[in-house]
Structure formats: C-alpha cells, structure tokens
Amino acid sequence: MAPEFKNFIAGEWVAPASGDYFENRNPADWNDMIGRFPRSSAADLKRAIGSAQRGFGQWSKTPAPIRGQVLLRVGQLLVERKEDIARAMTREMGKVLAETRGDVQEGIDTAFYAAMEGRKLFGRVVPSELRNKWAMSYRRPIGLAGLITPFNFPLAIPTWKMFPALLCGNSVIFKPAEDVPHTAHLLVEVLLEAGLPAEVVQLVHGQGSVVGRALVEHPEVPVISFTGSTETGSAIGATCGKMHKRLSLEMGGKNAMMVMDDADLELALDGVLWGAFGTTGQRCTATSRLILHEKIHERFVQMLSDRAGKLRLGPGLDENADVGPLIHEEARQKDAEYVDIAKKEGASVAIGGRIPQGDKRLECGWFYEPTVLTGVSRACASSRRKSSDRCSLC
C-alpha cells in the first residue's frame, strides 16, 4: 500500500477538504508508486492564506539576523540529507543522480547565501534638502508570496524563490508541480525542523488549473512567482498586471548554440551534450538548436551523433546512466510527434528519434532515445512552435 501524504496548512499536516488524491509514480518504472498526494481545492488554499497571514504577522517582526539563522540551519540539514533527498528526487522525476545531487547543492548554496543576507538588509540615510529635516528609508517585507514551481528542478527552484522571500520576512504558500510533490514534502519537513514557525510556510498540493489559479487570483496574495510554460506564464502575467501584483516569471525558451569554425570543437561538443540532453532536455535553458559554421558543419554533426549515440539511457538511480526518462507518457508522446513533424518538414534524423526497444530495464519507463535532427530549415528551426527539448537541431 503506497503511503498517503498531506498538505501542510495552518501548522498541521492535513488531508484535502475534498478527500481526493492523485498518484505519484516513478517515471523510470511506472509500477513503482511513490505515494498518493492531495488533490486540493480552493477551500484548502483559502485556509492556507488565512494561516499565512498569521504567520506573516509573526515572522515579519522577527529580526532579519534571526531569520537568517533559521535558513542557516536549513542549509545544514540539507547538507546532512543531501544523498537521501537526491535519491528521492531521482525516483520521483527521473533525472540521473549526478544531477539531483547538484539540485540539492543549489538549495544548500541558496540557503547559506540567504542566511548571510540577514546581516545585510540595510536601509539608507538620504540627504535632505531641508536644514531641519532628517530622511531615511528601511526595508519592509511585502506579505504573502505565492510560489508555483516546476517539475524539472524540484528542490533548487523552490529554494531560489522561497529562501530570499523568507529571509526578507515574508510568509510563503508553496504550490509544487503535480509531478514532484514528494520532494516538496521533504523540503517543508526540513524547514520545520530548522525552526521556521509553522504558519510561515504552507504547502498546498494539487492541479495548477485549480490551486495555482486560485493562488494567482486571490487578492490577498500580493507576490506571485511562477516557473513554467510561456502560455501559462502569459495568462498569469495578465492577471497579476490587472491586480497590480508583484510578479516574477520564468518561462520557456528556444535556445540556440552557435559553433564557429575556429572553436575548440571538443569543448563545444561537451557543452552541446550537456545543454541538449542534461535533465533529459527538460529545461527552459535546453540547447534545442545548433547553428554551425558551414566549414565545420558536417564534422561537428558526425561528432555529435557519435557521442549522443553512446549516451546510456537508464533509470536515474543507476549510477551508469547518462540520460533518464521523460517525466510522463504525455511528454514522450509529444517528443515523438515533434520528430514526425520535423521529418514531414524535410529534416533528417541523424540519430535517435525512437522509443527504445529490447531493453527490459526501460520497458516500464518513459524513455526516448537522444535525438539529433539535421537539414532543419530556417523557418522550422525558428518557429514559435516549440520543438522537442530532447532533440538537438542542426
């Protein structure tokens, strides 16, 4: 029986008001169920907002150096649990252990950085133009910060958003991606153990279209930070603009890497392989286009095809794996569709472009071969339609 997890609202681990849950499964082995997580509703969010307001009232009055000490302890706990959290993250979202260890390290670095800023939240003394006046400014926290985070960096990105907000005295409402709720649960456990007052952080699981939308549209949440698709981010931007909310958006990209004829080709190749196939290409910063000087085009495509063909597909928990699975079946199907579109538009598959066959280790996961497409037209490569992040286009 898979464990059943809860939201963290009003200082307690609580079931969703609806009683509904969703399954969280290992993308490398769909038979491995990590747990069942709350399919929360607007009612759960409303309760979380009320609690976060109380938490803000307490936390905003806590001196910044003391807030920094809590985050310092968070960093220390993450150091102690780095391997356990990395392994849990790999099981949940698929990328290889070398990457999830780096993901946790980013959280550690962010915690220590934010902790030190607790001694630097200086105000300013401003020269007055009037002889009998003295002017100064000081920093005040804004209030509640609604944080909506993606699946690809399940610990790093939440910490980038959360730790600075907490250090500055804000309370946070954390809505993680539905694909990575367990890593979010582990992070909140660390925060609480480090001494963060219970009502300063709220963890509300669920669908972005329900919980995320309610968070963005709520008038008492003045700060929103979102990382995800350009389409969703545009809608959030429009809503926050109308409501005069402070907003941070990190959305999709269509990134190109240029390699000139005088480049160190081996060094460039290392960059392309990491940029295109790291995190199984599931990053807004993924290298999805290569622009190659004509003098080295054929040579570099061959080098890339040779090296990409040697990348080892496998479960991320396998230390020998170079590339893990995609996050879910829909993502793999989308990749296959984009490769078909590219071929119809005249591109050729230099390597990959298939669901792997004949390897029992990969049969129950959402794996797709690293793919290199050549002969891509200017119109196709620069199209606003986002082609597969798991492919490198030459």
Is residue 277 within 8 A of residue 308, CB to CB? The reply is yes
What is the 3 state secondary structure string of 332-372? HHHHHHHHHHHHHCCCEEEECCCCCCCCHHHCCCCCCCCEE
Q: Which of 240, 284, 391, 394 is catalytic?
A: 284
Q: Which of 250, 345, 364, 380 is catalytic?
A: 250
Calculate ∠ Cα 230-233-237, nearest 5°.
135
Neighbours of 43 (CB within 10 A): 12
Q: DSSP of 47-66, one letter per residue?
A: HHHHHHHHHHHHHTTS-HHH
Closest CA to 350 of 302, 382, 318, 312: 302
DSSP assignment letter at 200: G
Rounded to whole angstroms, the Cα distance separating 333 from 338 reads 9
183: left (phi over 0), alpha (psi -120 to 50) or beta: alpha
* Residue 298 one-letter amino acid: E
Rounded to whole angstroms, the Cα distance separating 289 from 156 reads 25
Is residue 116 within 8 A of residue 68, CB to CB? The reply is yes
250 is catalytic: yes
Rounded to whole angstroms, the Cα distance separating 130 from 88 reads 61
Chain position carrying tokens 């582990």:
186
Neighbours of 93 (CB within 10 A): 33
391 is catalytic: no
**For residue 349, what are its two tokens?**
């598959």
Catalytic residue positions?
Answer: 250, 284
